[in-house]
Chains A and B, each alone.
Chain A
Amino acid sequence: MSESSPLDSNVLETMQTFVQRTIARGRRSIELANAPPQPVGLTPKDVLYTRGTLRLYHYHPIADEVYRVPVLLVMATTNKAFVFDLAPGQSMVEYLLKQGFDVYVVDWDPPTQEERGLTLADYTQDFIPTCIDRIAADSGEPEVSVIGYCMGGILSLIYGATHTDGPLKNLVCLTTPFNMHGMGLTQTWNDPRYFDVDKLVDTLGVVPAEAVTQMFEMQRPAQRMAGQLRLWDQMFDDEFVKSYRAFQRWGDETLPLAGEYMRETTKELSWGNKLYTGELVVGGREAKVANLTVPLLSIVAEHDHLAPRDSTKALLDKVGSTDKEEILLKGGHVSLIAGPNAVRRMWPALDAWLSVRST
């Protein structure tokens, strides 16, 4: 009998590990199937204001002293804001608090049928200004920096462009699709020759969350399956599993859209591209980003499929601000703001830019 070679023993060991892990994966997947939803949004906060779909949070400061100017994060109306606060160590809110910012967040609840008539004007001329008034009353500071994510960035831009004498101190747009004609697949699917937004809104009132989710997922049809395969592969890594489940929960809790808001964003922003062209009028006010003069930072992702590069790159050229900067980072639409990439890349970049403008 010949002695077994090192190669044979390595193969045996690899096979043994593989079989053991496969059995353990099966066991873990059963545990996960019965597990409660991954806890998210754990950073302590107060609900400062609620009205219908709107919620304004104030997070409890962590630092011994904070920057003078408070920060308001504005979430897109299609998603819950807990992506800013996924889990301890993976929370942009927690990071900003530790860096010494006083953090407020605009979150959205699903709009009800009686809120189907909400328009861009409600969001940008009522909700955001009301939140900013509340922040001023709560913090005692007249100025505020606004950070908008995705369509939250669009709402923040419209707010800023229509309140040029207002309390806005700094504006940060995260993955904001400013030029809607550069939105690739979404633009193709919204082709006005085929997409009957009036029929959709008139029939449904509120556009269901499933339709919104479908629109997102269709752009990366293999993503969900690939994600599940990766979860299966890394079932032993507790941090990976927690992170996956938190992101999954965020994706699954997509919000419905108020019908009139959907109609208006489709016609004015997507078809007309009026924020980009400077022709947008909201609530009787001209929303020209050329009128924006506050310091502006645009942070965009290189591999963003929801706000592709063509839709984000023109912002700096169009705003009136002289203090303006764009930071292009590796990553995608969501990994830019949450997860390991964000921890390493985006959050420090945001802190570096905002801290010197928050005193």
Chain B
Amino acid sequence: MTNVEFNRVDTLVEHPVLVDVQGMRQVYHKGDNPDLVVLDDVSVTIREGEIVGLLGRSGSGKSTLLRIISGLLQASAGKVQWCGKPVTGPCEGLSMVFQSFALFPWLTVLENVEIGLEAQGVAAAERRQRALQAIDLIGLDGFENAYPKELSGGMRQRVGFARALVVHPRLMLMDEPFSALDVLTAETLRTDIIDLWIEGRLPAKSILMVTHNIEEAVLMCDRIMIFSSNPGRVAAEIKVDLMHPRNRLDPEFRALVDDIYARMTQRAPAGKVEKRVADGFPGTGIGMALPRISTNLLSGLMEALAAEPYNGEADLPDIAGELQMEVDELFPIAETLQLLRFAELEAGDVRLTEVGKHFVQSDVDMRKRLFAEHLVSYVPLAALIKRVLDERPTHMAPYTRFCEELEDYLSEDMAKETMSAVISWGRYAELFSYDGHARAFSLENPS
């Protein structure tokens, strides 16, 4: 795999700076516990005339950054400027497209589009005219009087775009705008937006989009900022100088996608002290945050890896394409396998270990035994629960005993998710049983 370098004279330098974020940090305070750092030392500059992508997996704080730039959230520290002025609340000249569309169900398409203009106090006649223009531009003619619930997902997101464009924003923020759509619809909509952009008909001066879809980022953006997780940092910035319209099969395009996959699975450089050296999850020891991944997905991925054509080793973009999964779905599964030492991740590849291969070939009981062994060995929380249950004469322990300990390290939500991950893995491994009514762990299995 080669690192693709592009050298082009940056023609944007003279364009006015819209967003200027320097040394920004976002922290959540949580009682007496150590603060949870969501974003750390983030610097971003966005100029007029470019499409910038924020790429990272969930929990990397990219959506938080988007909300800080839009003024919906206040940064804990650092400089955040919009058009040269500090951001104190939702800014003028910005608009936003939401992942969930965020349309008002009780308003028609036309009324939904008009709402941004209402907020600016635009007179009724002009409002109507501009809204109709935006609807026309985005290809919603004929749907003006429909209610959102009568539209398909793709049409709803078109309303979302029309609503964001009608105010003629200097910067349009997009929060994973295509991820709630099916593959075909998403592709059509992306192409439409890019076509309008190339033709200069899109009434937005710049676009900042959050995505976890690598190909989408390469397809649309002029510049991609890759975020690492926990805390969120800008790990790399990549310029994309391919000509529009871009072709997904173009070797340069593929090389760039491969490069980004590699960067996103790369272990932290040795010199930098980071918590996530051993594996992808934040925190160490008991306080490691675990994703809630079903054991079916874990064995499913291992089986797919073991089978033809991969025979135990696969390129992440390939297997992501075959399994129709996005980074956000695939990475946590692969990383859980890595944590349990069933697979290894390196340079955009995922490879089954010997034990992983053994797992795939085993029957149900053997699989459970293997899983239990590795769970105790490599997941400290599971080991702790098992040890406490063994030590106590009653062989029982309440849920809160562990959850509260976790909350010393993690936020409440993350602690809950980690607990439910461990419960479901422990149940599968028959390491312990858990009674959801009584909220208690025990060693007994119901007889």
Say if A and B assemble together.
no
